[in-house]
Amino acid sequence: MAELCGIVDDTAAKINNKSTTVKGCDPISLVAKRKRMERRRFKIMSAGMAAQPENRKCQKLDKVCLEREYSFRSYSTNTACDVPEYGVISVCGRRREMEDAVAIHPEFCHKDSKKLHFFGVYDGHGCSHVAKTCKDRLHQIVKEEIEQGGLEWKETLEKSFSRLDKEVLDWSAGSCCKCMFQLPKCDAAGSTAVVSIVTPEKIITANCGDSRAVLCRGGKAIPLSFDHKPDRHDERLRIEAAGGHIIYWDVPRVVGDLGVLAMSRAI
C-alpha cells in the first residue's frame, strides 16, 4: 500500500543547505547530518498531498481508484438522485491471480416503470473463471427473470442463482481453462455470490457463500445477509442429511471429494 508522503518545507530545506556550508566541520559528521535530514524529510507530511505509489502494483491500483472516482462523480452529478452513489476497491493480495470480481450495473432493469440497480460481489476460489462468469452473467439472468414477470423476489433470485450454477457446471465440463492442467482441476473452482438490487423503496439481497452485505444506518451496521458456514446449525443438518460431514481444520470445513471448504455453499 502507498503511504502519505510530502515535500520538504522551506524551513527544512534551508537548514539542510546551511548544514552543508559550515566550515571546519568533520566531513563524516556532515554526511551523518545529511542522512539524518534525509530521514527527517520523509516525516514531514502535507495534509493536501495525495498518496504516492511505491511500486507498479500500487500505481495500477491508484489508477483504477482514480478512474472509478472520476466516473462515479461524473455519473452521479448527471443523474441527480436517480442512481445511488457507489464506490469500489479490490486488492489481489498475495495471490498470483485476482480471483474476485465486482459487478455494478446502475439501471440494469426496469420493473413497474421503476429503475433497478444491481450490485454484486463474487469471491472466487480455485480459479478466477467462476467469479468472472458470475460477474458477466448473473445480472443478465436476473434481468431476464424479472422481465418474464409473475414471480416474487425470492423465487426470482433463487431461480437466477440456479440457472447461473447450471451454466457454470456446463461450461466447466468442456472448458480449456488453465486450471484444468493443475491439481485439483477446475471442478474444484467456485465462487461466492452476494448481490443487492436497489429499488426506490427497498434493497433486495441474495447470498450464496460467505461474502457479506451490510447496511450502515445511523452509524450502526445492520446485516443484510448471513454467511453459509458449516458450523451454522441449519447448514450442518443439511450437510449431514446429504451424506456429507464436517471437520475442524483451523475453522469448520465441509469435506468433499475435491477438497475442503470453509463455506457450506458456493456457485
Domain CATH code at residue 166: 3.60.40.10
Q: Greater confidence, 81 or 98?
A: 98
Total tally of structural domains belonging to the chain: 2
Its pTM stands at 0.67
Is residue 38 included in any domain, yes or no? no
Query: In this structure, are 202 and 237 located in the same domain?
Result: no
The full 3-state SS of 29-91, as one line of letters, equals HHHHHHHHHHHHHCCCCCCCCCCECCCHHHHHHHHHHHHHHHHHHHHHHHCCCCCCCCCCCCC
What pLDDT is attached to residue 31? 61
State the Cα angle at 131 between 125 and 132, rounded to 5°.
Answer: 135
Q: Is residue 220 over pLDDT 90?
A: yes
What is the extent of the structural domain holding 195? 96-226
Query: In this structure, are 249 and 154 located in the same domain?
Result: no
Q: Could you give the percent of the chain with pLDDT greater than 90?
A: 46
Query: In this structure, are 142 and 240 located in the same domain?
Result: no
pLDDT in tens, 54-69: 454 444 434 333 333 3
Query: In this structure, are 139 and 256 located in the same domain?
Result: no
Query: In this structure, are 221 and 123 located in the same domain?
Result: yes
